[in-house]
A and B are shown apart, each in its own frame.
Chain A
Amino acid sequence: MKGQEGNNPEEAKTRTIAVGAIARVEGEGALRVTVKDGAVQDVELRIFEPPRFFEAFLQGRHYHEVPDIVARICGICPVAYQMSAVHAIERIFGLHVEGSLRELRRLIYCGEWIESHALHVYMLQAPDFLGYESGIAMAKDHAGVVTRGLRIKKAGNAIMTLLGGRSVHPVSVKVGGFSRVPRRRELDNLKDELLWARDAVVETVRWVTAFDYPEFAPDYTCVALRHPDEYPFNEGRIAAGNGPDISVDAFEQHFTEHQVPYSNALQCALQGAPYLVGPLARINLNHDRLPPPVTQVLADTGVSLPLRNPFHGIVARSIEMLYALEESLRVIERYEPPSEPSLPVTVRAGTGMACTEAPRGILYHRYRVDGDGIIREAKIVPPTSQNQGRIEEDLRLFLPRVLNRSNEEASLACERVIRCYDPCISCATHFLKLEIQRDQ
């Protein structure tokens, strides 16, 4: 590597290359890579975190305003923010949302997973494997495939629109349940499209498993919720690889945040080390909770779990889309409208925390509420800041393979690694610029 770099006198100088915003990553941020004597010295992912601002913004607000405010932190996963918020506050008030209301919360989460995963699989990551610079470029040659992806996404959106009350920011989620619940007939109307989407996602799994993947298998500590019976959405304890089984109440004792000098985001570590959250971690820890129709597709397509290659994130997302569609159809089939759309709330002072499975991984919220229902303290740990250390570590491992390429090509390779994580930078960062500095 050293020799290759030294062959070109121009490359012997320090070079800094900014390639602008990283394409197909939600939001903004910056990556700076320093290379010295042909070896990677530093990898710094700089992100800025609106959730930190929202934590302050929530203070002094009434608890019933929280679901609407947190839904606006991220345009991609508003339901996740709402779910973590309402579950945390319900714990303070001693509320247990069960039965049909609980099922509806699983259903709206399915909608968000389908929508978010379809966008990432079809528009953001597939172009990397098929050699296109963007989803738009891919659409020119594969209009049918892109149209299929957008229709799957729309099926997820239809669930969110029906349950959330509108298509963009769901407004009906509230502490205790929903402001309105659907009639049976309204849910039945979704079925045909969901059945179509289920078949289309089986095709998607076949499609993505046929891609060529680079050999890459870092040693991950996977972290995800784990529930006794279900593939997790809103409940469960936190499983961390082969390590401790952690109660959500103890999240902050095990997962510590620390400031890094190059970013205003806090990086989260498990006992001082980076860890992985998101679809890959979730499926590795919960594949025994997948129902037979999904495991059958895994067997048919030769997917062998656990998945260790971050590039296989696209496979994990496709499988989770299939799970979310199966689960949606199950909930709709058995749905009995609850007698009331929400449980009565008795405000009481206290602190409550919750962790739910956002499309990109566990999302932790903690609130302290006073006796008048006013938020006195809020803490939000989004999945992207939890994965931040893991992304840097992956880049450190992957970069030596591409250092002999031009800065432009190396930058593109870095982007591909970053995109594996589907970093939802709109909830964690601003404009992402990539910079490689080579010192000889």
Chain B
Amino acid sequence: MTSDGTAGETGVKCASRETACLSHVRVIGIGNEWRGDDAVGLLAARRLQGVLGDRAEVVEAGVTGVELLELMKGAGTVFLIDAVRSGQAPGTIHRLDASAGPIAPALFPRSTHAVGVAEVLELARTLGVLPKQVVVYGIEAGDTEVGHSLSPQVSHALNEVIELVRRETDASPCTNSIS
């Protein structure tokens, strides 16, 4: 279940069928795999690589900040997956449409990320380099201690997010051609 009830809505649109697909889809997973639930975005990307095949380019971004600007470059549609912290129950999934407007910076923990995801997206918007469609999946983190593994709630949410992203990319009318 997502916090805004919009899961499954497709965020992938193809601007032109005649030319190459303009909606190059990229999935970017962010997180620190040594810090418990903070790894969830990274692990989602790792698993989505096999699930999505050539429907999307998948990037394991690790601990990243402003570098996101570069990682999003050239994509028409971006799915960002990251751990968030807003005080809700661990494992809660937030689906946020960053194309529509700013997303809440307070959601994203600063602990391992240079500059928060929300801030980088706003920087991209300000500089006019925000991809056309940016969907952020934020998974509420619980335990982020170094050396711990994912908590059961976040492991469950991980499976759910993989399915949600798969459905969204399935709904895409075109596929990427990734060389």
Same complex: yes
Which residues on A are within 8 Å of B, measured CB to CB? 20-21, 24-28, 50, 53-54, 56-57, 69, 72, 74-76, 119, 123, 134-136, 139-140, 143, 146-147, 150, 153-154, 157, 167-169, 426, 430-432
Option from A135, A154, A169 in Cβ contact (under 8 Å) with B123: A135
A137 CB, min distance to chain B CBs, angstroms: 9
Residues of B within 8 A of A426 (CB): 63, 110-114
Select from chain A the residue with minimum beta-carbon distance to B34: A72
Q: Which of B35, B106, B114, B127 has most chain A Cβ within 10 Å?
A: B114
| Contact A69:B34 (CB < 8 A) given known A75-B63, A136-B123, A146-B127 | yes
User: Are B146 and A27 closer than 8 Å at their CB atoms?
Assistant: no
Which residues of B have CB within 8 Å of A135?
A: 115, 119, 123
Are B111 and A430 neighbours in the complex by a CB distance under 8 Å? Answer: yes
Q: What are 20 A-B pairs at a CB distance below 8 A?
A: A27-B110, A28-B110, A28-B111, A50-B146, A53-B147, A54-B146, A56-B147, A72-B32, A75-B62, A75-B114, A119-B66, A119-B114, A123-B66, A135-B115, A136-B126, A139-B126, A143-B127, A150-B66, A153-B66, A168-B62
Q: A136-B126, A426-B112, A426-B114 are in contact. Are A154 and B70 (CB under 8 A)?
A: yes
Query: A72, B33: Cβ atoms under 8 Å?
Result: yes
On whether the beta carbons of A28 and B109 are closer than 8 Å, the reply is yes
Q: B64 an interface residue at 8 Å Cβ cutoff?
A: yes
Instruction: Say yes or no: is B65 at the interface (Cβ < 8 Å to chain A).
Output: yes
Q: Once the chains are docked, how many angstroms separate the CA of A150 from the CA of B69?
A: 9
Is the CB of B122 closer than 8 A to any CB of chain A? Answer: yes
Complex CA gap A54/B146 in Å reads 7
Are B111 and A53 in contact, with the CB atoms below 8 A? no
With contacts A57-B146, A119-B66 taken as known, whether A431 is within 8 angstroms of B110 at the C-beta atoms is yes
Tell me if B163 counts as interface (CB < 8 A to partner A): no
Measured between alpha carbons, how far is A140 from B128 in the docked complex, in Å? Answer: 10
B96-125 residues with Cβ-Cβ distance < 8 A to A are 106, 109-115, 119, 122-123
Q: Which residues of B contact A25 (CB under 8 A)?
A: 110
Instruction: Choose among A57, A69, A167 the residue that contacts B67 (Cβ–Cβ < 8 A).
Output: A167
Within 8 A of A (CB), among B33-76: 33-35, 61-67, 69-70
7 cross-chain pairs, A with B, having the tightest CB-CB distances, nearest first? A75-B63, A53-B146, A168-B62, A139-B126, A136-B122, A57-B147, A136-B123
The reply to whether the CB of B145 lies closer than 8 angstroms to some CB of chain A is yes
Q: B120: nearest residue on chain A (CB-CB)?
A: A136
User: Bound state CA distance, A398 and B69, in angstroms?
Assistant: 36
**Cα–Cα, bound, A146→B122 (Å):** 13
- Shortest distance in angstroms between B40's beta carbon and chain A's nearest beta carbon? 15
A268 to chain B, nearest CB (A): 20
Q: List A contacts of B33 (CB < 8 A).
A: 72
Residues of B within 8 A of A431 (CB): 109-111
Which secondary structure dominates where chain B touches chain A? loop
CB closest residue in chain A, given B115: A123
> How near does chain A come to B58, taking the closest CB pair, in angstroms?
14
Chain B residues positioned under 8 Å from A432 (CB to CB) = 110
Give bound CA distance, A28 to B122, whole Å: 21
Residue of chain B at shortest CB distance from A139: B126
Given contacts A21-B110, A74-B63, A431-B109, 4 further A-B contacts (CB under 8 A): A72-B32, A75-B113, A123-B115, A426-B110
Given contacts A50-B146, A136-B126, contact A169 B115 (CB under 8 A): no
| CA A143 to CA B93, docked complex, whole Å | 34
Cα distance, A111 to B94, chains bound together (Å)? 36
B126 touches A134 (CB 8 A): no
Query: A147 CA to B145 CA in the complex, in Å?
Result: 36
Q: State which of B69, B111, B147 has its C-beta within 8 Å of the C-beta of A27.
A: B111
Task: Tell me, in angstroms, the Cα distance from A135 to B126 when the chains sit together.
Answer: 10
A28 CB contacts on chain B under 8 angstroms: 109-111
- The residue in chain A whose Cβ has the minimal distance to the Cβ of B144 is A430
From B65, B127, B145, give the contact of A75 (CB < 8 A).
B65
- Find chain B residues with CB under 8 A from A167 CB: 67, 70
Determine which residue in A20, A74, A169 has the highest number of CB atoms from chain B within 10 A of its CB, and name it.
A169
Cα–Cα distance between A76 and B115 once the two chains are bound (Å): 10
A154 to B127, CA, bound (A): 16
State whether A75 and B126 are in contact (beta carbons under 8 Å apart), knowing that A53-B147, A69-B34 are contacts in the complex.
no
Q: How far is A20 from B122 in the complex, measured between Cα atoms in Å?
A: 20
The digit string for B143-172, where 1 denotes a CB below 8 A from any CB of A, is: 001110000000000000000000000000
Chain A residue with Cβ nearest B69: A150
Q: Cα distance A432–B109 when bound, in Å?
A: 11
Closest partner residue, chain B, to A24 (CB atom): B115
- The answer to whether B119 touches A136, judged by C-beta atoms less than 8 angstroms apart, is yes
B37 to A: closest C-beta gap in Å: 14
Is B127 a contact of A147 with CB atoms below 8 Å?
yes
A78 to chain B, nearest CB (A): 8
| A contact residues around B66 at 8 Å (CB) | 119, 123, 150, 153
- Residue of B66, B113, B119 contacting most chain A CB atoms (<10 Å): B66
CA distance A431 to B141 in the complex (A): 14
CA distance A76 to B35 in the complex (A): 16
Residue pair B123, A168 in contact (C-beta under 8 Å): no
Interface centre among B34, B35, B112, B145 (most CB of A within 10 A): B112
Query: Which B-chain residue is minimally distant from A57 (CB atoms)?
Result: B147
Q: Are A75 and B112 in contact (CB under 8 A)?
A: yes
Q: How far is the CA of A50 from the CA of B32 in the complex (A)?
A: 12
- The residue on A at minimum CB distance from B71 is A167
A281 to B103 Cα, complex, angstroms? 39
User: Which residue of the partner chain A has the closest CB to B62?
Assistant: A168
Known A-B contacts A57-B147, A150-B69; A75 and B64 likewise in contact (beta carbons under 8 Å): yes
Q: In whole angstroms, how far apart are the Cα atoms of A131 and B67 in the complex?
A: 25
